[in-house]
Amino acid sequence: MGFAQILSRAESGLAAPLVRVEVHLGSGLPTFNIVGLAAPVVRESKERVRAALAHCGFEFPAGRITINLAPADLPKEGGRFDLPIALGILVASGQADPGCDLAATEFYGELGLTGELKPVPGLLLAALHAVGAGHALVVPRSNVSELKRVEGCQVRAMAELAELADQGRLAIQVLTHEEEVTHAGGRNAAAPSSPDLAEVRGQWQAKRALLIAAAGGHGLLMCGPPGSGKSMLAQRLPGLLPPLSHDEALEVAAIAAVAREGACARRFGERPFRAPHHTASAHAIVGGGVAVRPGEVSLAHHGVLFLDELPEFDRRVLEALREPLESGMVSVVRANQRAEYPARFQLVAAMNPCPCGRAGQVQPPCKCEPKRVERYRARISGPLLDRIDLQLSLRAVDAGALSDVAPSPSQSLTTAEALRQVCAVRERQQQRQGRCNARLGPEETLRHCRADAEGMRLLRRAAEQQGHSARSQHRILRVARSIADLARRDEVMAPDVAEALAMRWDQ
């Protein structure tokens, strides 16, 4: 008889609760049972563990083997528990000594039939929680590179189960923190791969709106005919945003790991840009599924969510955006699971003015009936529009703007120049209120964004004539505050309010 306890972690949203893999070897008829709300892939580890132990020259214990994954009411999924189960059997039977403190070390790894340790998805999240608990990790060798991002992470790599036969080879080592790679906040320029804002000809007002959106973190809706530059503008917004801090970059990478997408090492620290197709389901956008994975709104956390052809999205999908736009969180509830994911994204949407896209043009003229145009625009509800700060109507680009060899200074603003302005404005906002303007609450808005007397009178008149809600008025003031910040002014003035009103449709 023997007993051993090995530590590991499961996944539950963006939490990684500790799992104690308890192994008991008893007398009786040979059986191998795994209990503790294990998914089928975890129960199948019995055969992988049995074959791996035999191939590596270990003796598989006779008698009753009981594996308990505690706590018993927490769902366990994936092959990450193969190594803890195999190690627990070896320790309980006295065949191996890992040479480390089992009470402060967590083990992860999927076993091949030859004892090879295969990579496990989502270990970045487990590593973040392990560091907080003061635990070290033993992981497959192919997982080590992603864990180097976690400062202070104590990790030892294993290639195969046979290494347990050599008792001195599991000494824990502290990985060197790669400051020049992971400290994203030290970068001042846009990534070389970012498309340049200067490539967009014409649409000076749209570029101005994009600069304001980046400066204050505001959402933006562009309505214009096909080919007017809506997608080009949206693709250039991530390059205008300040680089992520190291903690923010780790949070983005952890969400990607939970979604089973992984994070590209070369793009670590860059703002995510997600552009789902308009046929995407509500589960794909908001999150869900059998395993309750994060959706596009969470994968765009700290970045940009671009919804092209906005009216073509399913109405239920669009209405589901209202909660994360307001709270920055999304709660996914299923029959037996509940998970909360952060969704603090910046929404950029694009749409045509009518089904054919030619409304307002002289040549070729629009042939859509007024009722058809009204039905098309009514696919976007008033409550959703109310939550989008900037709403811009674009016209087709003048042919002269495309043929100009030397564009005007207002048209030649580069991404690098715009990024310097945005970084300065964001620093100003951080010192004044601790967050960007778009994230201010109602009381903070009135404290930091109130305009002068003439500006407030202008806002009241517009609200009475156009029917702006209280939420809309607060959003207009926040946009006006961002305009004033770009002008390096402490006071919000009437021209700032007027420009903010000009970038919002009548409700």
pLDDT (tens digit per residue) in 135-144: 999 999 999 9
Helix (H) or strand (E) holding 156: strand 155-158
pLDDT of residue 12: 86
| Bridge partners (DSSP) listed for residue 332 | 339
389: left (phi over 0), alpha (psi -120 to 50) or beta: alpha
Q: For residues 117 and 110, what is the distance between their CA atoms, to the nearest angstrom?
A: 6
Q: What is the DSSP string of 310-375?
A: GGGS-HHHHHHTHHHHHHSEEEEE-SS-EEEEE---EEEEEE-SSSSS-TT-TTTTP---HHHHHH
* Residue among 257, 274, 238 nearest 149 (CA): 257
Rounded to a whole number, what is the distance in angstroms from the first to the last CA of the chain? 75
CA distance 164 to 132: 27
CB neighbours of residue 404 within 10 Å: 12
pLDDT band for 178, please (50, 70, 90 cuts): very low
Q: Tell me: the pLDDT tens digits for 3-16?
A: 999 999 999 888 99
Q: What is the structure's pLDDT at 262? A: 63
Residue 478 carries which side chain, given as an amino acid letter?
R
409 — pLDDT class (breaks 50, 70, 90): low
The mean per-residue pLDDT over the stretch 229-234 comes to: 93
The answer to whether residues 238 and 303 touch, using CB atoms and an 8 Å cutoff, is yes
Q: Looking at residues 332-337, what average pLDDT do you find?
A: 75
Contacts 24+ apart (CB under 8 A), 227-232: 227/396, 227/397, 228/203, 228/394, 228/395, 228/396, 228/397, 229/200, 229/202, 229/203, 229/394, 229/397, 230/308, 230/350, 230/394, 231/306, 231/308, 231/350, 232/195, 232/199, 232/200
Tell me the pLDDT band of 171, cut-offs 50, 70 and 90: very low
Tell me the pLDDT of the chain averaged across its residues.
Answer: 88
DSSP 251-315: HHHHHHHHTT----GGGTTSPPEE---TT--HHHHHEETTTTEE-HHHHTTTSEEEESSGGGS-H
Residue 9, SS3 per DSSP: strand
With a pLDDT cut of 90, the percent of the chain lying above it is 65
| Model confidence, pTM | 0.86
Which domains are seen in the chain, by residue range?
A: 2-177 (3.30.230.10), 186-397 (3.40.50.300)
Interacting residues of 321 by C-beta distance below 8 A, sequence separation 6+? 285, 286, 297, 347, 384
